Structure 1
Amino acid sequence: MGFLYEGLNASSFFALIAFIAAFLFLNEITRRSKIVSIIMFCVLPLVLVVGIFFGPLGSPTGRTWFGWVKVVSALIGVYGFMLIRFTKLGEKKFAAYFPAAILSINIAEAVYRELQVFATYKTLTVDAGGITVMGGTWNILNAIAGILTILTLTGFVGIRVSKDKSRDMIWPDMTWMYVIGYTLWNYAYVYNCISTRSLYAGFGILIAAVIAEYAFKRGAWLQHRAQILSLYAMFSLSVDFQTASYFKVLPTYTEGGLMTLSAVSFVFNVGVFAYMLYTMYKKKVNPVTQEIYVHTTSYKKTLTANSL
C-alpha cells in the first residue's frame, strides 16, 4: 500500500486486522439478536451523545456537519431495516422502497461532498474537521461513479426477510457486481474526501461488510454495511483513535493515488451500468418494478442461503 499510504508497518497492519475483526464481531452479535441490536443502535447512541457534549468523549470528526449527518443517516437506515426485519412492516410492499431510498440519499451526500471538495480545495488544505483534502478531476470522476451506484440499484421490490432466526433483510438482486462497484466507489470517495481516516473509514469497514456478506450471511450486504457504518461512525465521533501510534497511517496525498482510485471506481461502475442496460434489453425487464438478475448464479445462491 506504499503507493497510497505511508506509515504502514507490522504493528499498524495488525491493528488494522484487529479493527476489521472488531467490527465484524459487533455486526454479527447485533445481527443475530434483536435485543443486542436495540442496545447497540438505540441506547448506545444516546449514551455517546451525552459523553460527547458533557463528558470526556469527542473527536475532530464531531466538529463537522458531515460527521454528524453520516451518523444520523446511517442510524436511520439501521432503524428502518430493523422495522422491516422485526415487525409486520416487512410484509408491506412499500417497505421495499425504503432501503433503496436511504442508500441513494447516503450516496448523494457523498457525491455532494466530492463536488464540494473539487470546487473549494484546489491545493492540499486541512478542513474544519482536521482532514487534509485536495480537489481535482478525480472528484468529478468519482462523483459520476457515485451517481451510477444510485442508477444501478435494481430489483428493490424483491427485498424480503430471511426465513431463519436472525431474520436478515435480504436483497437478492444486489449481486456481487453492485457490491464490488459500490465498495470501489466508496473507498475512492473516502480517500478523496476523508483521507486522513481513509484506511479505516474506507478500506477497513468496507472490507468488513464484504467479508460479512460472503463469509457470514449472503444477501444481507446492505444490512451489514449500514450496521458496520453506524458502529464506526459512532466510534469515530466519540474517540480520536488515530492519536494512537499504531493507527497513524496516512495517505500519500499524491495526484497519482487519487486519480487511480477514482478512475478504477469510474470504469468499474460504468461496466456495472452497461451490464444493467444489457440485461434490461435482453431480458425485457424493468429494474424499478422487477428483479432483473434472477438468471444469475449470485441471485440463486442468495435465495438458497436464506431458504427463500
Structure 2
Amino acid sequence: MGILYNVPDLKTWAIMGFVLLALMAFNELGRATKWGGIILFIVVPIALTIGVWPTTAAPGNEYGTGTWFNWVKTYSALAGCVGFMAIRYIPALAKKKWVLCFPAFILALNILEAAIRDFQCFSYGATEGAYIDNLWVMSGPWNIMNGIAGILNIILICGWTGIFVSKDKTKDMIWPDMIWIYVLAYDLWNFAYTYNCISDHSVYCGMLLLLSCTIPTFFIKKGAWLQHRAQTLALWIMFVMTVPSFADRLAPVPTTHNKTAFFIVSLLSLLVNLIAVIYQFSIVRRKKLNVLKDEIYVDTNAYQLVIKENK
C-alpha cells in the first residue's frame, strides 16, 4: 500500500478482508431486527463491561486500550446505537423535533472527542515518533490541520430536522441531508485522525472501519449513513476492548511512519472539509436558509433518491 502502510503478507490481506466483511455482516444483523440490535448493543456491552473490559482495557495496559479516549469512545458509540434504536422503534420519539437533535449531537460529540485527541497528540511534542500510552504517535502540523478539519466537519452537520424512520421492516433511521458530500468529508477527516493518533492500528480502525459503513450507505441502505457508522464503530471498538492484542500481535499492519504521508493525509482532509463548508454556506446564503432548521440538499438527486426509497 506504498506510502501509507507496510502490509506484511497475503494472510494479513485475507484477515483485513474478513474484518471488513464481518463488520458489515454484524451491522446488518444489528439493523435487521430489534432484538439483533438489543443483543449486540445493550446485552453484550453490559456483559463485557462487568466481566471482561476491566481486565482487557485496564488503565496502563500494554496495548493502549486503557486510555480515557478508548473508554469514552466506546460508550459514546454505544449511546448513539441505543439512542438511534429508540428513535427507530418508539414511533412517538421520531415525531418530536427536539429528539431528532440527538443524532446530530452524538455525531458532533464523537468528532469533537477525536479533534481534541489530535490536538493532544500535537502537544506531546513527539516529532520523531514515540510510544505514548503504549501507542505509537508522531506529533506534527498534521495534528493541527486535522483538528481544524474536525471542527469544520462539525460545522457541516446539517438537516437533522429531516430525520425520519424508513417505511420498510428494518425501520432504519434515515438522514437524507447527509449526502455523499458529508460522507466524503467525514471519511477523509476520520481516516486522517486515526492515521495521526492511532497510527499503527489505523488500517483497521480507519480505512476498513470507514469502508464498512460507507459501502452499506451507497449500496445496501441509502440515507442511513450515521446508523451504519455508529453500529460498525461500536462493534469494532467493543472487539478491540475485548481482544486488544489483535492489531499489535495477531495481525499487525504498521504505517510507514513517513512524515510526508502524515502531512498529505491531513492536508487532504483539511482542504476537502474547508471546500465543503464553503460550498454548503454558499447554498445557505443563496437560498437564505436557516442551518439549524432547514435541510440544505433537498434539490439534489441523492436526497430525492433517499426520500423515494424510504418514505
Tell me which interval the TM-score lies in, with the shorter structure as reference length.
over 0.9
Unpaired segments of 5 or more residues in structure 2?
A: none
Q: Residue 125 in 1 paired to residue 130 in 2?
A: yes
Q: Residue 181 in 1 paired to residue 185 in 2?
A: yes
Contact 1:280 1:292 in 2 (8 A): yes
| Separation of aligned partners in 1, 2:180 and 2:138 | 31
Q: Which residue of 1 aligns with 2:23?
A: 23
Q: Which residue of 1 aligns with 2:148?
A: 144
Q: Could you tell me how far 1:95 is from its partner in structure 2?
A: 1.1
| Separation of aligned partners in 1, 2:148 and 2:30 | 34
Q: Which residue of 2 aligns with 1:242?
A: 247
Q: Could you tell me how far 1:50 is from its partner in structure 2?
A: 2.9
| Separation of aligned partners in 1, 2:165 and 2:111 | 24
1:73 to 76, 100, 103: 76
Local SS of the residue matching 1:304: helix
| Separation of aligned partners in 1, 2:279 and 2:219 | 26
Q: Residue 106 in 1 paired to residue 106 in 2?
A: no
- The AA in structure 2 aligned to 1:236 is V
| Separation of aligned partners in 2, 1:150 and 1:260 | 21
- The AA in structure 2 aligned to 1:238 is T
1:265 to 261, 266, 269: 269
Q: Which residue of 2 aligns with 1:205?
A: 209
Q: Which residue of 2 aligns with 1:160?
A: 164
* CA deviation vs aligned residue, 1:85-144 (integer Å, no higher than 9, x gap): 00121121111110111111111101100111111133311111x210011111111111
- The AA in structure 2 aligned to 1:300 is Q
- The AA in structure 2 aligned to 1:96 is L
Q: Any runs of at least 4 consecutive aligned residues in structure 1 with deviations exceeding 6 A, and if so which?
A: 54-59
| Residues 20-59 of structure 1 aligned to structure 2 (within 5 Å) | 20-52=20-52
Q: Residue 193 in 1 paired to residue 173 in 2?
A: no
Tell me: CA distance 1:131–1:56, structure 2 relative to 1, closer, same or farther (3 Å).
closer
| Separation of aligned partners in 1, 2:55 and 2:285 | 58
Q: Residue 224 in 1 paired to residue 200 in 2?
A: no
Q: Could you tell me how far 1:56 is from its partner in structure 2?
A: 7.3
Count matched residues. Answer: 305
- The AA in structure 2 aligned to 1:79 is V
Q: TM-score, normalised by structure 2?
A: 0.94
Local SS of the residue matching 1:285: coil
| Separation of aligned partners in 2, 1:279 and 1:54 | 49
Unpaired segments of 5 or more residues in structure 1?
A: none
Q: Could you tell me how far 1:284 is from its partner in structure 2?
A: 1.8
| Separation of aligned partners in 2, 1:273 and 1:55 | 43
Q: Residue 305 in 1 paired to residue 309 in 2?
A: yes
Q: Could you tell me how far 1:9 is from its partner in structure 2?
A: 2.6
Tell me: CA distance 1:3–1:84, structure 2 relative to 1, closer, same or farther (3 Å).
same
Q: Matched residues, percent identical?
A: 41
Contact 1:279 1:292 in 2 (8 A): yes
Contact 1:23 1:205 in 2 (8 A): yes
| Separation of aligned partners in 2, 1:54 and 1:285 | 48
Q: Could you tell me how far 1:301 is from its partner in structure 2?
A: 1.0
